[in-house]
Structure 1
Amino acid sequence: MTVTRPRVGVLALQGDVREHVHALTASGADATPIRRPAELAAIDGIVIPGGESTTMSKLLGIFDLFDPLQQALNDGLPAYGSCAGMIMLATTILDTRPDARHLDALDITVRRNAFGRQVESFETDLDFIGITDAPGADPMRAVFIRAPWVEAVSPDVQVLATVPAGPAQGRIVAVRQGNILATSFHPEVTGDRRVHEYFVSMVRR
């Protein structure tokens, strides 16, 4: 069934919650913050924003959200994770704490803080399959803030974007597996709504 204006939640424990809500609303969704397990039943998709992944895993436990969210993802809830959200969705995480938990929804290996510390944050233009390959489309300006990268993907995962140049050339920074989408970068901070529009179209389908 196609949902004309889907209801998309934004996990509201830390990170750019307000910015994601605004971007989703501008992209044709009814966006709402999510903090309680019961709220998961009322949404058609969820965004897991950036932040600090080990802190986020602890907060999911404190708010009794970890198991219900993992079950919802297992049951097919579409999800988009940006930066720390990518880490939370991954099956294998490198350079993390041994007690950190993750949601195992995306069959990738991710390295935390792979691009370096906060002072090494950077921007670059990306080609993004399904977005910038449209006729006349501009490259996507991507903002990386203490970002992860993807070191390995399973055959079921589609690589959507890689770093085009520099020391990290070729590193994977956007992926999709079924109805799970993830990016290393923060599209919510640039004003470019195309990643959110892409995800909302996934949720509609």
Structure 2
Amino acid sequence: MKIGVLALQGAVAEHIRMLEEAGATAVPVKKVEELEDLDGLVIPGGESTTISKLMHKYGFMEAIRQFGQAKKPIFGTCAGAILLANRINGQDDFHLGLMDIKVERNAFGRQKESFEVSLPIAGVASDFPAVFIRAPYIMEVAGNGEILSKYEEKIVAARQGQYLAAAFHPELTEDFRMHKYFLDMVKEYRGEKVQA
């Protein structure tokens, strides 16, 4: 199983390490053609507007939309979740617009207000160590989406079909269970059996 990590900005090496610990081959993705032989894609955190500009510049917008529409799983963390959303509070436009969620940017304060909290995440863990850094939150999950986790009544993880969004940074911990959950999604979409 080969998973790409979009390598335009953010904690790329950390995601690669976690994916490999969870059992995948992981590679940085810097060119559109590198999407072709991947089974799944991670869009890391960073600054969503900056990543979006770079995605436009290097032709990733349409390529990643096609990747998702081909039923290949995509996991967006922090800014990656904002990029996946089809609605952003206070903005008329969106970035990729693949996931039927509405997000609020920078909802948990500035960088200095970063924190870590133990979260229950459906299908993942009862005690996942979630790191929040200038994190968004998910205001609404529509369509066939499912809420996976909340913190202080705010939705911080959700799934819709082959798309997974987390407001926090699972790659900045030593816990690869969130990445393992994503790999199970990839197996499911490849038609492989997923072990319980």
Q: Which residue type is aligned with residue 108 of structure 1?
A: I
Q: Secondary structure at the match of 2:165?
A: strand
Are the aligned partners of 2:85 and 2:94 in contact in 1 as well (CA < 8 Å)? no
Q: Secondary structure at the match of 2:82?
A: helix
Matches within 5 A, 1:155-170: 155-163=143-151, 169-170=152-153
1:29 aligns with 2:24: yes
Are the aligned partners of 1:57 and 1:101 in contact in 2 as well (CA < 8 Å)? no
Q: What is the count of residue pairs matched by the alignment?
A: 188
Q: Secondary structure at the match of 2:4?
A: strand
1:151 aligns with 2:139: yes
1:131 aligns with 2:124: yes
Residues in 2 aligned to 1:95 and 1:119: alpha-carbon distance in whole angstroms: 24
- Aligned partner (choices 164, 172, 177) of residue 160 of structure 2: 177
Residues in 2 aligned to 1:153 and 1:119: alpha-carbon distance in whole angstroms: 28
Residues in 1 aligned to 2:132 and 2:114: alpha-carbon distance in whole angstroms: 5
How far 1:195 moved relative to its partner? 0.2
Q: Counterpart in 2 of 1:190?
A: 173
Q: Does 65-74 or 48-57 show the bigger shift?
A: 65-74
TM-score, with structure 2 as normaliser? 0.92
TM-score, with structure 1 as normaliser? 0.88
Q: Which residue type is aligned with residue 102 of structure 2?
A: T
How far 1:31 moved relative to its partner? 0.3
How far 1:70 moved relative to its partner? 1.2
Q: Counterpart in 1 of 2:2?
A: 7
How far 1:162 moved relative to its partner? 0.3
Residues in 1 aligned to 2:98 and 2:15: alpha-carbon distance in whole angstroms: 20
Are the aligned partners of 1:116 and 1:147 in contact in 2 as well (CA < 8 Å)? yes
Are the aligned partners of 2:68 and 2:162 in contact in 1 as well (CA < 8 Å)? no
Runs ≥4 residues deviating over 4 A: none
Gaps of 5+ in 1: 1-5, 134-138, 164-168
Are the aligned partners of 2:86 and 2:95 in contact in 1 as well (CA < 8 Å)? yes
Residues in 2 aligned to 1:77 and 1:131: alpha-carbon distance in whole angstroms: 20
CA RMSD of aligned residues (A): 1.2
Q: Secondary structure at the match of 1:57?
A: helix
Residues in 2 aligned to 1:24 and 1:148: alpha-carbon distance in whole angstroms: 23
Give the structure with the larger strand fraction: 2
Q: Which residue type is aligned with residue 162 of structure 2?
A: N
How far 1:155 moved relative to its partner? 3.6
How far 1:45 moved relative to its partner? 0.2
Q: Counterpart in 2 of 1:103?
A: 96
Instruction: Output one character per residue of 1:25-73: Cα deviation in whole Å (capped at 9) or x when no partner.
Output: 1111110011111111110000000000000100001111111111111
Residues in 1 aligned to 2:143 and 2:62: alpha-carbon distance in whole angstroms: 27
Q: Counterpart in 1 of 2:109?
A: 116
How far 1:101 moved relative to its partner? 4.5
Q: Counterpart in 2 of 1:86?
A: 81
Are the aligned partners of 1:54 and 1:101 in contact in 2 as well (CA < 8 Å)? no
Are the aligned partners of 1:50 and 1:82 in contact in 2 as well (CA < 8 Å)? yes
